[in-house]
Amino acid sequence: MLVKDWMTTELITIEPDDTVLDALHVMRENRLRRIPVAKGKKLLGIITEKDIKTFSPSKASTLDIYEMHNILADTLVKDVMTKNPINVAPDDPIEKAALILRDKRIGGLPVVDENGDLVGIITAIDVFDVFVEAMGMRIPGARISIVLDDRPGAIAEMAKIIKQHELNIISLATFFLKDQSMRDVVIRVSGDDVKIKSAVEELKSTGYNISSFMYMTGKTEV
């Protein structure tokens, strides 16, 4: 999965010579937390709610709301925005974007193509969507969590048992445990309930450590 497959391409941008008040109005009207700052197709910066909030208190300590409004109306976006923001390319793997968002603790990344043109934006919400899709969470089925040795062939052996019970694997993900020699394999399967239960029993009898097993509807459960 690549950034271009998940990014938002219908962009709302603002120009560097627009006012901070303009930016704030655009954010509120469109329920955005960040807006790329561009001149034509060229990315110049990004302005976020945090940028505006960080700017405002330094000016607001002795000002009333009307004076603050005037300051925001007189201040240009280019004086508050983050210049030369971190960005990714459309053909970058989605994992790269996720890692940057996590490590830099930011909510969104502009996407810039090889010509330097702004072509999209990818946010933390988009990455959550990737996780939901990759885990098959919207498809009804059974979720089986199995603790396996981290060795070649371990997952294939487990999958063979599931195949023998004519179950369809919706998704499979592995996570290292604190003990790096072990993995928690989370597998979601669909099929006949009797066959699912039979597969789980065979996995247990074969010696697999089933750490959790549950049915999931594919709908939001709160």
Phi-psi sector, 174: left (phi>0), alpha (psi -120 to 50), beta: beta
- Predicted pLDDT of residue 62: 54
Range 87-104 average pLDDT: 96
Asked if pLDDT for residue 217 goes beyond 90, the answer is no
Average pLDDT over residues 93-121: 95
Query: Hey, what are 150's tokens?
Result: 């981290």
- The answer to whether the CB of 202 falls within 8 A of the CB of 160 is no
CA distance 30 to 209: 49
Closest CA to 112 of 49, 26, 36, 32: 36
pLDDT digits (tens, 9 = 90+) for 14-50: 999 999 999 999 999 999 999 999 999 999 999 998 8
What global pTM score does this model have?
0.80
Q: CA-to-CA distance for 33 and 50, rounded, in angstroms?
A: 8
Residues with Cβ < 8 Å from 109, sequence gap 6 or more? 85, 86, 87, 88, 97, 100, 101, 121, 122, 123
Cα–Cα separations (whole angstroms), residue 95 to 2, 122, 128, 172, 176: 8, 12, 12, 17, 17
How far is residue 176's CA from residue 110's CA, in Å, rounded to a whole number? 31
Please answer whether residues 165 and 202 qualify as being in contact, where contact means their C-beta atoms are separated by less than 8 angstroms: yes
More confident residue, 165 or 52: 165
Q: Is the pLDDT of residue 143 over 80?
A: yes
